[in-house]
Every structure is written in structure tokens, then in C-alpha cells.
Amino acid sequence: MEIITKNALETQKLGEKLAKDLIKSNQPVVICLYGDLGSGKTTFIQGFAKGLGITKRILSPTFIVSREYEFGKNKKFYHLDLYRFNNEKEAEILGLKELWENKNNILTIEWPEKIENILPKDRVEVRFEYIGEEKRKIKVMTND
């Protein structure tokens, strides 16, 4: 699915809808978000978290790599930003695999290309493209 959003709120709404759809259909727990700085990844994730029922404000984890939020019944939502990562070794140190192997977790990953070789096959990919000041092209690829 590919759509063009005309402002940040539309991008948030799209993220919110994806979260609700994934919960309903028991889809993959890893959502990879690709795109340049400022293309809307964090904005999308803010909506995604809302779709999971998280009411806390979602701040960008760029400097701390990972933020964790609780939702539902003993479930956890992780927002990862690997911008400062160099390689898969760092991911191992952080125990990222353990995070996505736990089916009670949902992960959104900004800059997943940093760990391309270890990403699980079963995942959703969302690609962001800057079109204009407030326009973004967003492509969502689920595995069905």
C-alpha cells in the first residue's frame, strides 16, 4: 500500500491504523521504518503507539537507542532508533533478538538498515519519502 500524506497528523493516523490492524490479525511484531531524517518515521510511530492504546508522549530515542512502554496485558512496545549504530554486534550487545523473539513485545525500528543481516524475515516494512514540506510518500509492506 502506498499513500501520500499531506501533514503530520495524517501520518500519525496511518501509524495508528497499522497498529490496530496488526493487533487484530496477530501480524509480525517487528515494524521496520526506512527513510531519511525528517521523513516522518517518529511521527508515524507516535500514531502507532496511540493505536496500541499508549497515552504517554512518544519522544525520539535517538540518543538512548531504545524506549520501552507498557500496553495491553503484560505487553511491551519498544521504539528503537539505530541511527547511531555501527553494526550488528551492537545489536547483539543490546539483546535485540531476544526482544523480537518475545511475542509479548512489539518493536518499531528506525534505521533498521543498520542491522539488515539479523532482522527477522517476518516483519512489516514502512518506507518514507520526503516529497515536499508537508508531503510524504509512505509505503507499507506487510507479509500478506
CB 97 within 8 A of CB 78: no
* Helix or strand holding residue 51 (H, E): helix 41-51
Examine residue 114 and tell whether it contacts Mg ion (CB under 5 A): no
Shortest spacing between CB 33 and Mg ion, in angstroms: 8
Name the residue nearer to ligand ADP (CB basis): 38 or 72: 38
Interacting residue ranges for ligand ADP, rule: CB under 6 A: 5, 7-8, 10-11, 35, 37-43, 60, 110, 134-136
Name the residue nearer to ligand ADP (CB basis): 27 or 43: 43
DSSP 22-49: HHHHT--SEEEEE--TTSSHHHHHHHHH
- State how far the Cα of 20 lies from the Cα of 48, in Å rounded to an integer: 8
Name the residue nearer to ligand ADP (CB basis): 10 or 106: 10
Residues 44-63 that bind Mg ion (CB under 5 A): 60
Name the residue nearer to Mg ion (CB basis): 27 or 108: 108
Residue 7 binding: pick among ligand ADP, Mg ion, none (C-beta 5-8 Å cut-off by kind): ligand ADP
Shortest spacing between CB 84 and Mg ion, in angstroms: 12
Shortest spacing between CB 26 and Mg ion, in angstroms: 27
In three-state secondary structure terms, 11 is helix
DSSP-derived secondary structure letter, 16: H
Strands ordered across the beta sheet of 135-141: 2-5, 135-141, 124-132, 30-34, 105-110, 75-81, 66-71
Shortest spacing between CB 101 and ligand ADP, in angstroms: 26
- State how far the Cα of 99 lies from the Cα of 78, in Å rounded to an integer: 9
Footprint of Mg ion (CB under 5 A) = 41-42, 60, 110
